[in-house]
Structure 1
Amino acid sequence: MLNFELYNPVNLVFGKGQMEKLSKLIPADAKILLAYGGGSIFANSVHAQVTEALKGYDITEFGGIEPNPRYETLMKAVQLIREKKLDFILAVGGGSVIDGVKFISAAVNFEGDPIDILRKRIRIESNAMPFGTVLTLPATGSEMNSGAVISVESTQEKLTCGGPALFPKFSICDPATVASLPKRQVQNGVIDAFTHVMEQYLTYPHDAILQDRIAESILQTLIEIGPGVAENPADYKLASNFMWCCTMALNGLIQKGVPTDWATHMIGHELTALYGIDHARTLAIIAPSLYKVMFETKKEKLAQYGTRVWNISETDVDKAAKLAIAKTVEFFKTMGMPARVSEYTADYQNTADIIVNRFEERGWRAMGERGNITTDKVREIVEMSY
């Protein structure tokens, strides 16, 4: 097992009726920026619950944070906080809103141009504005980690930021909010969480036995509940297990002591930046192609995954690994995931060139758990995904 440090200070408040605890979680004299997305929190009564729980607080609202939150929008929130001298942020929404608030938290007191947080990947160690979250859309695990992905509209890029100062102070996670979600969003959430686990699990055999078993249990649970919760999001048993899987998939636990990949995400982010494809759907497009292109270095773990998660009985490693990929593709299709870039856009012919050029410019020439996903491999993966 690799050496590791595990730090996660988030106070996770999980279950029905937990919104009433907001006033105990936020300082009584806080001046709050209430940040949210497109307005679904008004339709599902979450906004009413939040404002009722925070009666008497000084609240300024900021709506319109996009899916794949845009730097340009977030900087408007930064300016608003500075003008009104606010001192706490409450993110109410899914991973995009929470990611956006993490960047806002980092940018408010940042000395220098906040774009450098993204372009220079500056780790935020201190001096971030405190924030909490009310999760309404399970998917990214952002409610219990310190990372964020931000879109820069002017250059059509998705860039990351993070650091120990960007953990939420608390996150309220009420699975009842899942009931109002559209089927597409639930499908996306299941596949997002599934692929998060795969990025940390599907590498090569190692000595971290417990991390593998935890990862496999999350995958098995998502396979078991995924189709059902997409069809019936009001089923509390399914919704609560779905929400907890999404959190556990990316709260840092299964990543500790193990090699990780993340190339699927790095490539997928570019498809979202270029074509606006839902994040989870880019992962479903890229992951099977990556497993095939990198088959020789991943086949042992693919075979383990096939045996333990899909109950494949084939003993030949190559055959078991190929069956595991096929089972994964089948599951993605069951969850409503189209498999090709061409199913989203007709203007895809130069996609590989664009992505490879961007990776070359950023110096991303040795990705993956072995550092062997070169830009040539990236080209092959993307072209296989057309």
Structure 2
Amino acid sequence: MQNFDLHNPTHIVFGARTVARLDELVPTKARVLILYGGDSARRTGTLAEVRAALGERDVYEFGGIEPNPSYETLMRAVELIRWEGMDFLLAVGGGSVIDGTKFVAAAVGYEGDPWEIMETHGATVRGALPFGSVLTLPATGSEMNSGSVVSKNATKAKLVFSSPHVFPRFSILDPTKTYSLPLSQVANGVVDAFTHVMEQYMTYPADGFVQDRFAEGLLQTLVEIGLQVLSEPDNYNARANLMWAATMGLNGLIAAGVPEDWSTHMIGHELTALHGIDHARTLAIVLPANMEVRREAKRGKLLQYAGRVWRLTEGSEEQRIDAAIARTRMFFESLGVPTRLREYGIGASQIGAVISQLEAHGMTALGERQDVTLAVSRRILEAGL
């Protein structure tokens, strides 16, 4: 196992009817900006519930944060905060809203061009406004980590930053807030959470026995409840386990002391930026193809994954690896999530543009061993056709 330094300061408040606890979690004298996405937060009553819990505090709203939060939209929030002098942010939504709020929190007091935050992947962040979140869509784990993904429409760039300054002070996780979600978003959340775990698990054996067992348990949980959260939208226990699995999948715990990959995400980001495919759906395309192309480098973990997650113990090593990759693809497709580029009208002639974007953004040596070159990324995309 590798050395590690693990610190996560986010206070989690989990369970039904916990939005009312905002009154004790948000400073009494705070001037609060609520950030949210589309109209669903208002239509479902969550926004009204949040405002009621905030009581007599000065409260402002900023809506319209996109499913892939854009720099252009977020900078409007930054200017509003600078003008009105808000001093506490509250994200109400899923990972995109929380990611966007992290960028806004870091950008308000940033000296220089705030896009540098993304270009330096957060290395230049020296502070941020405090913020909390009310999670309504389980998927990304952003409610309990310090990472964020933001797109710049002007250049079709989708970049990642992280900073210890942008951990949420708290996150409220009420599974009942997921009941009204479109099933396609719930399916995306399952795929997103599954792939997050795989990026930290599907590398090479590193004697991280505890981390491996945690990761395998999360994967098994997602497989077990995946169809149930779609067929029984108001099943509290199923939605609660999805919400907690997604949070645990990217809060730092299973990444401690083990190598990480993240090439699936980096390639997927470019597909979203160029073609507008939902983030999770790009992952469903790239992950099985990635495992296939890199099966030799990942052989040890692929066999472990086959045996422990899918209970595949019969046949040769090659047969078990083939079956594990096929099961992964079948799981995603059972949720109604396609796993081929052709299902989005993308053919071989469009792969070159994705490779060019990876090169432009410095993504020329990805993966746990930094051996996913542009040529390997091309092979992965070709395998996903």
TM-score w.r.t. the length of structure 2 is 0.98
Q: CA deviation at 1:123?
A: 2.3
Q: What runs of 5+ residues in structure 2 fail to find an aligned partner?
A: none
Contact 1:87–1:130, Cα closer than 8 Å, also in 2: yes
CA distance in 2, matches of 1:378, 1:353: 10
CA distance in 2, matches of 1:155, 1:224: 40
Q: Indicate the residue corresponding to 1:250 in structure 2.
A: 250
Q: CA deviation at 1:141?
A: 0.3
Matched, 1:266 2:289: no
Q: CA deviation at 1:137?
A: 0.4
Q: Indicate the residue corresponding to 2:58 in structure 1.
A: 58
Q: Indicate the residue corresponding to 1:24 in structure 2.
A: 24
Q: Which amino acid aligns with 1:103?
A: F
Q: Indicate the residue corresponding to 1:383 in structure 2.
A: 382
CA distance in 2, matches of 1:150, 1:81: 19
Q: Indicate the residue corresponding to 1:112 in structure 2.
A: 112
How many positions carry a matched residue from both structures?
Answer: 385
CA distance in 2, matches of 1:75, 1:243: 29
Per-residue CA deviation, residues 141-192 of structure 1 (Å, 9 max, x unaligned), is: 0000000000110111211111100100000000011111111000000000
Q: Indicate the residue corresponding to 1:367 in structure 2.
A: 366
Q: CA deviation at 1:370?
A: 1.6
Q: Indicate the residue corresponding to 2:299 in structure 1.
A: 299
Matched, 1:232 2:232: yes
Q: CA deviation at 1:30?
A: 0.4
2:194 counterpart SS class: helix
Q: CA deviation at 1:71?
A: 0.3
Q: Indicate the residue corresponding to 1:160 in structure 2.
A: 160
CA distance in 1, matches of 2:173, 2:337: 26
CA distance in 1, matches of 2:69, 2:268: 16
CA distance in 1, matches of 2:44, 2:184: 17
Q: CA deviation at 1:231?
A: 1.7
Structure 2 CA distance for partners of 1:124 and 1:217, relative to 1, 3 Å: farther
Q: CA deviation at 1:58?
A: 0.2
CA distance in 2, matches of 1:279, 1:249: 16
1:151 counterpart SS class: strand
Q: Indicate the residue corresponding to 1:129 in structure 2.
A: 129
Q: CA deviation at 1:351?
A: 2.9
Contact 1:124–1:166, Cα closer than 8 Å, also in 2: no
CA distance in 2, matches of 1:129, 1:166: 8
Q: Indicate the residue corresponding to 1:318 in structure 2.
A: 318
Q: What runs of 5+ residues in structure 1 fail to find an aligned partner?
A: none
Structure 2 CA distance for partners of 1:362 and 1:156, relative to 1, 3 Å: closer
Q: CA deviation at 1:341?
A: 1.6
Contact 1:124–1:165, Cα closer than 8 Å, also in 2: no
TM-score w.r.t. the length of structure 1 is 0.98
Q: Indicate the residue corresponding to 1:353 in structure 2.
A: 352
CA distance in 1, matches of 2:72, 2:215: 36
Percent identity over the alignment? 52
Q: Which amino acid aligns with 2:379?
A: E
1:56 counterpart SS class: coil
CA distance in 2, matches of 1:108, 1:66: 19
The 5 A counterparts of 1:208-227 are 208-227=208-227
Per-residue CA deviation, residues 99-151 of structure 1 (Å, 9 max, x unaligned), is: 00000001000000001111232326532010000000000000000000001
CA distance in 2, matches of 1:126, 1:170: 20
Q: CA deviation at 1:17?
A: 1.1
Q: CA deviation at 1:315?
A: 5.5
